[in-house]
Chain A
Amino acid sequence: MSEKKNWPLWEIFIRSKNGLNHKHVGSLHAADAEMAIENARDVYTRRMEGVSIWVVESEHITASSPNQSESLFDPANDKVYRHPTFYNLPDEVKHM
C-alpha cells in the first residue's frame, strides 16, 4: 500500500452576501482546490451563510510573527487621528 499522507489544509473564506468582503471562517482538509470548495460548501454554508467561497491552501499564507507584534502594531497606538471617526457618515453608506 502506498504511504498514507494527510490531505493538505485549506483556509476558507466566505462572502456572506453580495457587497461584503470574504471573511475567514476556518480551515479544512481537502485533496485539491475543487474538493476544498465542495467541502467548504458542506461544512460552512449549510445554514445559508454564504454566496461565494474562496479557498487558499494554508501553506501559501504568510503570517506575521508574534515576536514582531510590538514593532508592527504598537506604534499605531497613540495615533488616534488615523481613525476616520471625525466624519459624519451619510445614511446611504452601508457596511462601514
Chain B
Amino acid sequence: MTLADAKYQYLLRMGDNALILGHRLSEWCGHGPILEQDIAMTNIALDQVGQARSLLQYAAQLEGKGRTEDDLAYKRDVMEYRNVLLVEQPNEDFAYTIVRQFLFDAFNFLLHKSFVNSKDEHLKAIAEKSLKEITYHLRYSSEWMIRLGDGTAESHQKIQTALDDLFIYTGELLTPDAVDQTIFEAGIGPDLTTLQPAYQAKIDEILQQATLQKPEVKYMQSGGKDGRMHTEYLGYILAELQFVQRAYPNMEW
C-alpha cells in the first residue's frame, strides 16, 4: 500500500465517522426528549458534519480526481463508506444515543489529541480545531452516562442495556490494520494500540461513576473501517442522506 492510498483511506475513515454520526444525531432534530437536549444534540451534529466537511475535502484533494467533499458524501455507495460500525447504529432511544456517542467520543478525543505531533500539517490543523469541539462532546456524553447510569432504576437499566448491545462495536476503533500501520510509520497518526489503555481507563472511570457494568465481550464486531462489511443500517442512512442528489443529480441550492 502506498502512503498516498493509506492517507486517502485514513481521511475517509475519519470523515465518514463524523458524517454518519452527525447524520444519526441530526435525526433527533425536533424529536429530542426536551427542547434543551434537542438543541444540544443538533449542535453536536452540526459540529460533526462540519468536521466531516474538512476531512472529506482534504480526502478529495489527496485523491486528485477532481472530486469534491460533496461527491464523496453523496455519490459513494454503502461498500465505499469507511466509517466504523458503531456510528451507524440506530438511535433507538436516548440511552442508545448517549452510549454510542460516549463510546465514540472517548475514542475520537484520544485520536485527535494524538495528532498534535502529526507530520501532516493539514490534518494537524483540522484536528486542532476539531479537538475543542470533541472535548465538549466527550464532556456532554460522559455527563449523561453518569446521570442515566446513576439515576433511577429505569434509566440505569436502559443505559446498561444499550451499553451491553453496543460494546461489541468498540473493538475495531483501536485495532490497527495496514492503513493505520502505514499512517503510523509515516509519522502522521498514532499507533492505535498505544491508545487502548487510555480508552479503557476512560470507559472504566465513567462506568464506575455511572454505577454501570462493563460488558464482557468475547467477540468484537468489525469490518466498517476496512470496508469488508457494514451493518444493514448504513444503506438506510445513505438512502436518506443521498436522496436529493440521487433524484436530482448535481442539483444545487
Contact = CB atoms under 8 A, between A and B. Distances in A.
A2 B36 contact: no
Contacts of A29: 34-36
B141 to A, nearest CB: 11
Interface residues of B, number: 13
A38 B40 contact: yes
Given A1-B154, A2-B152, A2-B154, A43 B143 contact: no
A43 B152 CA distance: 26
Contacts of A28: 35-36
Contact of A42 (B39, B143, B147, B152): B39
Nearest to B144: A35
Contact of B40 (A7, A31, A34, A39): A39
Interface string B137-159: 00110010001000010100000
Nearest to A6: B34
Interface string A29-51: 11100110011001100100000
B144 to A, nearest CB: 9
Interface residues of A, number: 14
19 contacts: A2-B152, A7-B34, A28-B35, A28-B36, A29-B35, A29-B36, A30-B36, A31-B147, A34-B143, A35-B143, A35-B147, A38-B40, A39-B37, A39-B39, A42-B40, A42-B43, A43-B36, A43-B39, A46-B43
B154 A39 contact: no
Interface centre among B40, B143, B154 (most CB of A within 10 A): B40
A1 B158 CA distance: 13
Please classify the interface of chain A as helix (H, G, I), strand (E, B), loop, or mixed, using the class held by over half of its residues: mixed
A28 B38 CA distance: 13
Contacts of A42: 36, 39-40, 43
A5 to B, nearest CB: 11
B249 to A, nearest CB: 34
B140 A38 contact: yes
A85 to B, nearest CB: 42
Interface centre among A2, A28, A38, A46 (most CB of B within 10 A): A38
Nearest to A30: B36
Contacts of A30: 36
A46 B37 CA distance: 14
Interface in B36-86: 36-37, 39-40, 43
Counting from the closest, the 3 A-B pairs by CB-CB distance are A39-B36, A42-B40, A42-B39
A46 to B, nearest CB: 6
Contacts of A39: 36-37, 39-40
